[in-house]
Structure 1
Amino acid sequence: MSHPLFDTPLIAAPMAGGTSTTALVEAVHNAGGLGFLAAGYKTPEAMSAEIKATRATGIRFGMNVFVPDPDQLSRSSPPALEAYRNELEPEAARYGVALPALRVDDDDAWQDKIDALLADPVEFVSFAFGLPGPSVVRALQKAGSTVISSVTTVPEAMAAAEEGVDALAVQHQSAGGHTAAFLSGLASSGAEAPRTTAELVAQVRTAVGLPLIAAGAIMDSSALQEVLAAGAIAAQVGTAFVRTTESGARQAHKDALGSPRFTSTAMTRAFTGRFARSLVNEFVSDHGEAPEGYPAIHHLTAPIRAAASAAGDPERLNLWAGTGWKTATDGSAKDVVRAYLSGL
């Protein structure tokens, strides 16, 4: 049975970098799910244009926004980032591209995006990489938006609940792409990490009373049923949609998910300076000691990734993938949604 907040137990995760498109969100909605757009890396103007285009289809949808980390914003480049830039020079030379100067002051146009969402509200606004702050939460709710915070642990869930958000997206470490984690020091707390997404949902369920959205390695109807039984009202799915026709992911990324060449995933900072789960390719293997530095490293590796994509070379692309990637299929997103919902 669907929770009235979404009227569906299946949500297409926001996937920044072009993977989440209006076409994908529309296809998911038309098959009985709910889709999210992603504001990350876009200008406020591009975000607003995408909202306008999606709203014109008459469907329900949400928008995800990255919360900037003040600790990563500075006026000078840390030595570790300069050293990593030097480490990447051979990668750039491979394709004949130049590495940009390090940019360490990018907050992804945070305030402008919040202002745009207040001026032209969408039904759902979710946040990743941190908490937006109580004043932002209240302002968005007053404008008519349901506010969702992404969390990865019980302490993060409790911190988000204290800000007054409406729901939580609970992300397990098995999820593809960037981790939403924002509180440090939890890995060394001595507590055993939950083995599955359902276990994490159950832990969070005991700590907070908010509606929970489960995320991480939910690749079929049975996995969806498992997290719903654990206390989630919906599952947020990303990797399962990457290969679909409506996805805006690079073709080399789509092909890699179906290739026998790749046999494992790993958490890596090599591409963006923030831990994210990717298929293990040569770039991941060669740069296992990449420093923390998001989004500075994202900008630094952008020309390498663009050139690799143009060359059809998956070895130097950020091949985001959850641990269940092997069952991701091509075809329409509508078929993916129907397969999830058929077993309910």
Structure 2
Amino acid sequence: MNSKTKNVLIAIGIPTGYALILRLLFGVNTWSDLFSVMSITFLFLLPTIVGALTVYLSRPEKTKSISYRIFIPWIPVLLFLIVTISLSLEGWACWLMILPVFLIAASIGGLIGAYLKNRGKNERLHISIVVLLPFILGPIESLIESIPATYQAYTYIDIDAPAEEIWDHVTRVKEIPKEQDTGYLTRFLGFPRPVKAELDFEGVGACREAIFTKGLVFHETVTEYKDNEKMVFTIRVNPHEILSTTLDEHVVIGGQYFDVLNGTYELEKLPNGLHRLHLYSHFKMNTTFNFYAGWWGKWIMKDIQNNILKVEKQRAENPRI
């Protein structure tokens, strides 16, 4: 093995191995009070350190290139992705959500690694401190209680049909064939798709079940009802009903980090004779990085809601479907 090949293996292999070790350590349940995968330390600091290590361990002539500093750190990140998915340490949905953060942070780390390497004074001490930072900051972050944040996902659609016809498809949704499913994001993430919705009666106190594939059920209780105009309902999800292979534990609906609270349908008559069907929901995120997780939560919930609204529009405008 020549020196160039050896250097490449070191520059890529050590950061990848470091990331895997941290993933295993941060995933140990008995240490969850000190280290957590769902933390700023892991999601933002880890890829930064991987990027810094990659460039720091590279040959000096390579690190002179800005493009090398920015893009080479992506290699160990992508290798880390492949290995964790192969070993079922993480799911594809989880990785898709955090990959942009990992790539950006790794590039920033690459610039930091080049800076440390070119300082020429105490650089080994400095890179050693950087490598140890997660073990220092992880426990500190665990002392900071995550503050649950509530978000609203608002969607609507205009429908050319009588209010009564629309409302019939709102309260109860007959089985949705796979070909009518337009939830492109949730499908790509591997989330369950909607199947049907059942309501026992029209009025306050009614029980409605929005049934999805893979065991996901939104157990809904109607708290406000006005026929052909408005329906408000609480939502409860039992995570144990969902197949264990359906979603990564970090993104499961009704789990520790992501839960749906309530939903509202409102039907508004427009001046042009159409009806606007509003659907909005409130959901809760419980992480130390709600600023990022909440954005994904909104995108997912809007995709689910838009999917349902399109089905209701199609059926209201074409009663024979």
Which of the five TM-score ranges fits, normalised by the shorter chain?
Answer: under 0.3
TM-score, scaled to structure 1? 0.22
TM-score, scaled to structure 2? 0.23
The structure with more helix, counted as a fraction of residues: 2
The structure with more strand, counted as a fraction of residues: 2
